[in-house]
Structure 1
């Protein structure tokens, strides 16, 4: 009985195929080509739209050395609280939400932001590579008070980020965020920028001198014959200030909304 049903189905499909071929043969060639062209164009447009949507990310990655205040900034963005300072994170803090300062605006019309706070401990930094490919922007947080004792370590970490293929190829914008500027002993953002540029220039010279077998960094920085400056980077690098404990995150939020449209 099953074989009879299968045979009937095969015959019906064959008849349908024959009828389709006869119908197509009756269509004038120009109309047929036009119809095919419309179908191909529609498919192509659909693929382009899907590709564009796939590239549009709402992820902002917070990174930097341990103790720079990333986690406090994360909570300020999420709920407007410093959570009494928090402690050093051992796992990424991650969440998708409307920025706290925007919660009074009309709901449903503001695009949520996916914020990832990546631990700054050197052993945990490989976790950063998990999030960079999907990042719309990177925020590198620097402790403006304890900057000078950590300038070398911060420069090395920043150099590694700016030379990663996942950052360079997508030209992911980076915000150098000087945190804790509410403190009297905090360094200015211009001072921090200049010192980091000087340290990265030293790194660039030393790493360029290494053998070509060293493939730690995928790209090089700067322009040959010129002192390094952030404007020479493949991706856009900006400098701003913030204070996580006092809730002054306006410049950070401006960067976020520049690359994750509301």
Structure 2
């Protein structure tokens, strides 16, 4: 919320109402004057409440995940339909607001999407906290080919995202996007989902014990006494597939457009 803008608008309205009140005092008898003042006060309070509680619908989608999972290629596919071969691991967020490339030929007004590709390097992930509070949705990208060697690391990072205060409180929807499924050696999304759930189940057990020792106040996941499943999360979590290299990103685009209406 832009409080400075709201404050300026309220001051303008107050000045206008003060002028009107002065005229009323000069012209109206006491009974009518009281009614008029009450109406003005009520209107002023109503406008202030509307300004404070009216929130602009977010159009920000955050891409995150481990380094090398293909986030940057997906960013370029969404922006201009190119894989931009030769891209290297991002050290700064790729950020842009644009109409999705697949929609550029559509007629009528289409709402642009603000896409942020957050670097996956462990020392750069703090940048994610800058964008989560404004996100309409999060896309956690997983390398479906090199999944098993990175399963533990991906699970730890995903756990951090799912227990982030912004994600939990605002119930931000999350898409786990299995990328590079065009490769013969790619694992299926069902296999990846099950493995991630198993790893997160182990993580939440150990981290819950730490929380109970008052070392951290992070949110916990799942239902006590039950094996962890993404269906137990505070926010909606779905699994999808994509190939940034070939441009098959329809499930990613559908997820985005379900959150950022055209």
Which range, TM-score by smaller chain? 0.7 to 0.9
TM-score (norm 1): 0.86
Instruction: Give the aligned CA root-mean-square deviation in angstroms.
Output: 2.1
Q: Quick check: 2:24–2:33 contact (8 Å CA) kept in 1?
A: no
Q: 1:19 to 1:116 in 2, by over 3 A?
A: closer
Q: Distance in 2 between matches of 1:249 and 1:84?
A: 16
Q: Distance in 1 between matches of 2:23 and 2:132?
A: 54
Residue 44 of structure 2 corresponds to residue 52 of structure 1: no
Q: Distance in 2 between matches of 1:17 and 1:116?
A: 50
> In structure 1, the residue corresponding to 2:138 is in which secondary structure?
strand
Correspondence 1:233-252 to 2 at 5 A: 233-252=233-252
Correspondence 1:93-132 to 2 at 5 A: 93-106=94-107, 109-132=109-132
Q: Distance in 2 between matches of 1:209 and 1:97?
A: 44
Residue 80 of structure 2 corresponds to residue 79 of structure 1: yes
Match of 1:36 among 34, 40, 65: 40
Question: Residue in 2 aligned with 1:140?
Answer: 140
Residue 23 of structure 2 corresponds to residue 23 of structure 1: no
Which protein shows a greater Rg?
Answer: 1
Unaligned runs of 5+ in 1: 1-15
Question: Residue in 2 aligned with 1:208?
Answer: 208
Q: Distance in 2 between matches of 1:36 and 1:17?
A: 8
Q: 1:102 to 1:19 in 2, by over 3 A?
A: closer
Q: Distance in 1 between matches of 2:233 and 2:227?
A: 12
Residue 228 of structure 2 corresponds to residue 228 of structure 1: yes
Q: 1:84 to 1:19 in 2, by over 3 A?
A: closer
State the number of aligned residues: 242
> Per-residue deviation at 1:105?
1.0
> In structure 1, the residue corresponding to 2:123 is in which secondary structure?
helix
Q: Which runs of 4+ in 1 moved over 6 A?
A: none
Unaligned runs of 5+ in 2: 1-19
Q: Distance in 2 between matches of 1:209 and 1:123?
A: 26
Question: Residue in 1 aligned with 2:8?
Answer: none
> Per-residue deviation at 1:18?
6.6
> Per-residue deviation at 1:172?
0.4
> In structure 1, the residue corresponding to 2:156 is in which secondary structure?
helix
Q: Distance in 1 between matches of 2:50 and 2:90?
A: 42
Question: Residue in 2 aligned with 1:168?
Answer: 168
TM-score (norm 2): 0.86
Q: Distance in 1 between matches of 2:87 and 2:218?
A: 35
